[in-house]
Structure 1
Amino acid sequence: MSDIQKRLQEAADRLVDSGTERGLQIAVYRHGEQMADVVAGIADPKTGRMMEPGTVLYTYSMGKAATATVAHMLVERGLFTYDTPVAELWPEFAAHGKGAVTVRHVLTHTAGVPGLPLDTTFEDICDWDAICATVADSRLWWEPGTAMGYHAYTFGYLIGEIVRRVTGKPISQVLREEITEPLGVADELYFGMPVSEHRRLAPLEDMPGASEMMASLPPDLPMLKAGPLSLFPTADLGNRTDVLAADIPAGGKTSARAMARMYAALLDEVSGVRLLSPERLREVTATAYSGPDQVFGMDSAWGLGYSIGLPQGAASSPSVFAMGGAGGTFAYGDTATGVSFAFTKNRLTQDFSTAEALAALVQESFPAGG
């Protein structure tokens, strides 16, 4: 057993034994080789099924990294560029003066279309054609490129429809053909997960007090204008059969080892597969925009489709490109160390403190230049 496997397993067991987490997975790669594959706790309390390395969880926005990766692979093949106007590929999107929005704006969350109508339903977000028509008809919150605000849902539909327009295939199919099948994780990383496979999921659960916390938010928050409260990430939303089965590439259903393997294949060759050239990786993981988030309020830094830095901020870890998910999941690649990391869990918490502590163990074990 490697030292990092032992240290992470001990940490995972403590988290479960203390009641902090119900069930979790941690995976680490370095220079294309798996260094740790840790599980602890229960996947499904109703049946007593234990968490396993291949258990799949809805990790919400952690899956945006896979969405961005698909886009980069198509850019590298010359199907479009980062500065291609979205409307050049998707003419309907030009409505209401959005013709200047580029693919780069979408990837950096500066496109100016972060919201969905407040009457959007569960059924709407699962209906690809209907939701894309809604996004195409949306109005700008700001001039593209002049501000940044997290596009929680619209990011996925924007990139997904661009992919569909240039390939003729749904993004879930492109993900499978270009990433998950070559990497051997086609049954562990999805946008829409077939209903026949849902028995392998770890159902999500909310932390006590989550609904009260949401109800206490000030009504004038910009985030509350970006979509109805019913679509904010909760266990009820993440356990719905229709949501789990639908292509919603603003999020993903994945195991930790599948997501860590994808990041590893961005950094290095994994079993003969490298997803992007080193030159492309340098471009997409450089900070492209930083500043206050106009929707959620915090300071953020973005590369092209990946957040920059560990949860405590980009300044402390500028070589890290990452995506976290609502509920506290987190995954990243580190260009300075060649390390990739993914942490998944079935209990939704309000921050990334656990992911941050686990990532610190990994950073200590594999320091830059070590």
Structure 2
Amino acid sequence: MVVAADAVQMDPQALDRVEDLFREQIARGSHPGAVLAVYRHGQPVLDLHGGMADAEAGKTVASDTMFVLYSSTKPLAAACVHILWERGKLDWDDPVAKHWPGFAKNGKEAVTLRHVLTHRGGFPETPPKLTWDKWQDWDAVVQAMEDIKPEYPAGAVFAYHPRNFGWVLAELVRRVDGRPFRDFLQEEVTGPLGMHDTFVGLPPSLEDRVSKEHAMEDCDRPSQVSMYNRPEVHQAVQPAGGGIATARDLARFYAMMERGGTLDGIRVLAPETVAEVTQLQVEGLDLTNERHSRRSLGLSLGDPRMGSSGTDDIRTFGHGGAGTSVGWADPDSGLAMAYITNGFRDDSTNYPRLAAMSQAVRDACR
């Protein structure tokens, strides 16, 4: 149930224009289907769904349809580590090997948690032997992370780690806390917040609720899109890019962050922790994505897909998902938003469609 726009100082007519843009992007073929959710000041103000979940089969997007998050999953993994830091179980500058001795293998003894969270660990490439059909074998994942040889010295190079980021954080959570990552996430983050349609490791019984991913005409990674339509990939614990969720849930996560770690009386993080983990840590050319980026401890700052606040965009934090989605929070405006599509596009068309939606939401604020 959403609140009236006036109750959170938003313009009802401007929110109508947001919905018009949402429908227009589907109608003009930007993507077959999508979901959009917006919070302001901790209150849900918009919850939209539309288009086709499976264009070929003629299956429409329903209110409970879940979508692949790709790297929009990463902040969920980071939040688990943020909780452990707040509880004094680890420190940002701890070598990963302090908690996971086998990780030191092949010259990774100097890699710290801070390096991993800021994509400066030096091992950005997914090991070739760790193909999608092995992702459900956690022992194989752990062994691959131990065996990996860094391409760069720890802390020396800013290069996005598309998948290794999540596997390392998840095993670190298990080593420090004792619970498997999937259980920790559910018990400490998604469960308390009522994010009942968010999974990193989808139960097989829910497979029919997941939207199909569609490779659009400018997609240069059709094989990746096909891979992320496999039930085996949905069911694997892949915390850097394998999350499945609704926009409603993802926006709720960001509303919690925007509110300083507590939403509807449920505290996930302390305000001081949220402030700590959203501070700029690294800025510059990301050698993996070949674009200028800014990162905090597990989050992207001022990403162009998040629109512009008109003041200090670095205050906006969140993350995008390859070719499809973005989620973010802006504590200055009180906004939290998630926009997830099922049409995988090249950055040249994906960034503008996501940025347009983010900006339309921003422009609806009074």
1:310–1:356 contact (8 Å) kept in structure 2: no
Is residue 2:85 matched to residue 1:95? Answer: no
Describe the superposition over 1:56-85 as per-residue Cα deviations: whole angstroms up to 9, x where unpaired.
Answer: 111200010111111101111111111111
CA displacement at 1:15 relative to structure 2: 1.1
Pairing of 1:246-285 with structure 2 (within 5 A) = 246-251=236-241, 252-268=243-259, 269-285=262-278
> 2:181 & 2:138 partners in 1: Cα distance?
11
Per-residue displacement from partner, 1:67-116 (whole Å, max 9, x unpaired)? 11111011111111111110011100011221111111110001111112
Moved more, 132-141 or 105-114: 132-141
- Give the Å deviation of 1:277: 1.5
Contact 1:108 1:305 survives alignment (8 Å): yes
User: Any unmatched runs of 5+ in structure 2?
Assistant: 6-11
2:232 corresponds, among 210, 226, 242, to: 242
Instruction: Show the counterpart of 2:18.
Output: 8
Give the match for residue 71 of structure 2. Answer: 61
C-alpha contact 1:56 1:253 (8 A) present in aligned 2 = yes
Tell me the CA shift for residue 341 of structure 1.
0.7
TM-score by length of 1: 0.89
Which residue identity does 1:194 align to in structure 2? P
Give distance in 1, aligned partners of 2:246 and 2:15. 17
Deviation at 1:299, TM superposition (A): 1.4
Gaps of 5+ in 1: 215-228
- Give the match for residue 8 of structure 2: none
- The match for 2:9 is none
Q: Secondary structure at the residue paired with 2:288?
A: coil
Letter in 2 for 1:266: M
Kindly provide the amino acid, as one letter, of the partner of residue 23 in structure 2.
D
CA contact (8 A) 2:204 2:235 kept: yes
1:166-195 per-position Cα deviation (integer Å, ceiling 9, x unaligned): 122221111111111111112x11111111
Question: What letter is aligned with 2:252?
Answer: R
CA distance in 1, matches of 2:305, 2:74: 20
Determine if contact 1:328/1:350 at 8 Å carries over to the other structure: no
Aligned length: 347
Of residues 331, 344, 357 in structure 2, which corresponds to 1:335?
A: 331
- Counterparts of 1:147-186 in structure 2 under 5 Å? 147-186=157-196
Q: 1:75 aligns with which of 69, 72, 85?
A: 85
* Partner secondary structure for residue 304 of structure 2: coil
1:20 match: 30
86-95 or 260-269: which moved more?
Answer: 260-269
**Cα pair 1:5 1:37 within 8 Å, conserved:** no
Q: Give the conservation status (yes or no) of the 8 Å contact 1:204–1:348.
A: yes
Q: Does the Cα contact within 8 Å between 1:33 and 1:270 map onto a contact in 2?
A: no
Q: Which residue of 2 aligns with 1:220?
A: none
Task: Please list the CA deviations of residues 34-66 of structure 1 after superposition, one character each: whole Å capped at 9, or x if unmatched.
Answer: 111111212223443322332111120001011
Cα distance in 2 between the residues matched to 1:356 and 1:161: 34
Paired residue type of 2:90:
F
Counterparts of residues 1-370 of structure 1 (less than 5 Å): 2=5, 3=12, 5-186=15-196, 188-210=197-219, 213=220, 234-251=224-241, 252-268=243-259, 269-311=262-304, 317-351=313-347, 352-366=351-365
Q: TM-score, normalised by structure 2?
A: 0.90
In 1, Cα distance between the equivalents of 2:270 and 2:218?
A: 45
CA drift at 1:296:
2.5
Q: 1:117 offset after TM fit, Å?
A: 2.6
Q: What do you get for the CA RMSD once the two structures are aligned? A: 1.9
The 1:20–1:312 alpha-carbon spacing in structure 2 relative to 1, beyond 3 Å, is closer
Does the CA contact (< 8 Å) of 1:115 and 1:151 recur in 2?
yes
Q: Deviations over 1:198-226 (max 9, x none)?
A: 1111111101253xx45xxxxxxxxxxxx
CA shift, 1:260, in A, is 0.5
Q: 2:72, 2:320 within 8 Å by CA — same for their partners in 1?
A: yes
